[in-house]
Amino acid sequence: MSVNRRSATRHDIAIDVTVLVPGEAPAGPATSIETTIGNLSLSGAYVVLGRRLTIGSTVTLKFRIPTHDRPIETAGVVRWSNDQGVGVQFDGLRAGEVWALGKFFESAA
């Protein structure tokens, strides 16, 4: 039996996102990847990458939603990874961004 440990409902959605992945070597250059969010919640996102990232690594996500006038840019921790993409837990959403995401989910329902 599978146990769902998510604290927030995931919403299937396709949103463009820029993912900033830190470099492999200490202080190495970061890689910027243009891709898609496959599902989204107040606590995290599934990001379609077509590759694996190291579990526990920190990435930065930057995306736009219609209910917010500015891009949302937040750090996140990779919680799982497979050949199709990664699950990212947000770490640092601002109150206004949480509110905007809530409004976005209400409008999409």
Poorest-pLDDT segment among 24-28, 79-83, 95-99: 24-28
> What is the C-alpha separation between 26 and 30, in angstroms, rounded?
11
Is residue 8 pLDDT above 80, yes or no?
A: no
**97: DSSP letter:** H
Residue 25 pLDDT: 60
* 6 within some domain: no
Please give the structure tokens belonging to residue 27.
């202080």
SS3 11: strand
Tokens of 29: 């250059």
Of the two residues 17 and 50, the one the predictor is more confident about is 17
Among 62, 64, 74, which Cα is nearest to 34's? 62
In a domain, 3, yes or no: no
Instruction: Answer yes or no: is 27 within a domain.
Output: yes
Q: What is the CATH number of the domain that holds 59?
A: 2.40.10.220
Is 77 among the domain residues?
yes
- The predicted-structure confidence for 82-100, as pLDDT tens digits, reads as follows 999 999 999 989 999 999 9
Does residue 64 lie in a domain region? yes
Indicate the number of domains in the chain.
1
Residue with structure tokens 């890689």?
31
Q: How confident is the model at residue 109 (pLDDT cuts 50, 70, 90)?
A: low
Write the pLDDT tens digit of every residue in 38-70: 999 999 999 999 899 999 999 999 999 988 899
Predicted local distance difference test score (pLDDT) of residue 2: 39
- Within-domain flag for 5: no
- Give the burial string for 1-25 (b: 16+ CB within 10 Å, else e): eeeeeeeeebbebebebebebbeee
Residue with tokens 């219609």: 66
- Is residue 4 scored above 50 in pLDDT? no
User: In terms of residue numbers, what domain contains 71?
Assistant: 11-108
